[in-house]
Amino acid sequence: MENKKVAGAQPALAPLTSPNFETGSGKRSSLWKRLVAQRHLQIMALLGVVWMIIFNYIPMYGIIIAFKEFNIVKSISEAPWVGLTHFREFLDDDNLVNVIRNTLGISLIKLFIGFPLPIIFALFLNEIRNVRFKKSIQTISYLPHFLSWVVLGGILATWLADVGIINNILLALHLIDQPISYLAEPSYFWTIVISSDIWKELGWSAIIYLAAISGVSPEMYEAATIDGAGRFQKMFYVTLPSIKSTIGILFILAVSGVLNSNFDQILVLRNSLNDSASNVIDYYVYYTGILNGRFSYSTAVGLLKSVIAMVLLVIANQVSKKINDTSLF
Question: Are residues 54 and 200 part of one domain?
Answer: no
Banded model confidence at residue 156, pLDDT cuts 50, 70, 90:
very high
pLDDT at 12 over 80: no
**Residue 182 near residue 277 (C-beta atoms within 8 A):** no
Banded model confidence at residue 1, pLDDT cuts 50, 70, 90:
very low
pLDDT at 120 over 80: yes
Domain end (from 32, 60, 88): 60
Task: Give pLDDT tens digits for 88-118.
Answer: 999 999 989 999 999 999 999 999 999 999 9
Position 105 scores a pLDDT of 93
Question: Are residues 198 and 140 part of one domain?
Answer: yes
Domain end (from 33, 60, 87): 60
> CB under 8 Å to 65, separation ≥6 — which residues?
76, 79, 295, 296, 299
Question: Are residues 316 and 242 part of one domain?
Answer: yes
In a domain, 13, yes or no: no
More confident residue, 20 or 218: 218
Position 84 scores a pLDDT of 93
In a domain, 14, yes or no: no
Question: Are residues 173 and 115 part of one domain?
Answer: yes
Q: Which residues constitute the domain of residue 103?
A: 68-323
Question: Are residues 85 and 167 part of one domain?
Answer: yes
Element (H, E) at 125: helix 116-126
Report the CATH number at residue 126.
Answer: 1.10.3720.10
Whole-number Å distance between alpha carbons of 97 and 222: 54
Region 226-235: mean pLDDT is 88
Banded model confidence at residue 8, pLDDT cuts 50, 70, 90:
very low
Question: Are residues 101 and 202 part of one domain?
Answer: yes
Question: Are residues 33 and 171 part of one domain?
Answer: no
Of the candidate ranges 15-29, 221-235, 275-289, 290-304, the one whose mean pLDDT is the lowest: 15-29
Question: Are residues 84 and 52 part of one domain?
Answer: no
Question: Are residues 76 and 56 part of one domain?
Answer: no
Region 38-57: mean pLDDT is 90
In a domain, 2, yes or no: no
End-to-end Cα distance, the chain? 62
Average pLDDT along the chain? 87
pLDDT at 19 over 70: no
Question: Are residues 246 and 213 part of one domain?
Answer: yes
In a domain, 231, yes or no: yes
In a domain, 10, yes or no: no
Question: Are residues 43 and 145 part of one domain?
Answer: no
Please give the C-alpha separations between residue 204 and each of 39, 46, 97, 151, 260, in angstroms, as whole numbers.
32, 28, 33, 18, 19
Domain end (from 60, 79, 113): 60
Total number of domains constituting the chain: 2
Position 15 scores a pLDDT of 47
Whole-number Å distance between alpha carbons of 120 and 265: 24
pLDDT at 26 over 80: no
In a domain, 1, yes or no: no
Banded model confidence at residue 3, pLDDT cuts 50, 70, 90:
very low
Position 65 scores a pLDDT of 93
Of the candidate ranges 239-243, 244-248, 284-288, 290-294, the one whose mean pLDDT is the lowest: 290-294
pLDDT at 23 over 60: no
Nearest alpha carbon to residue 301 among 91, 107, 108 = 91
Question: Are residues 251 and 130 part of one domain?
Answer: yes
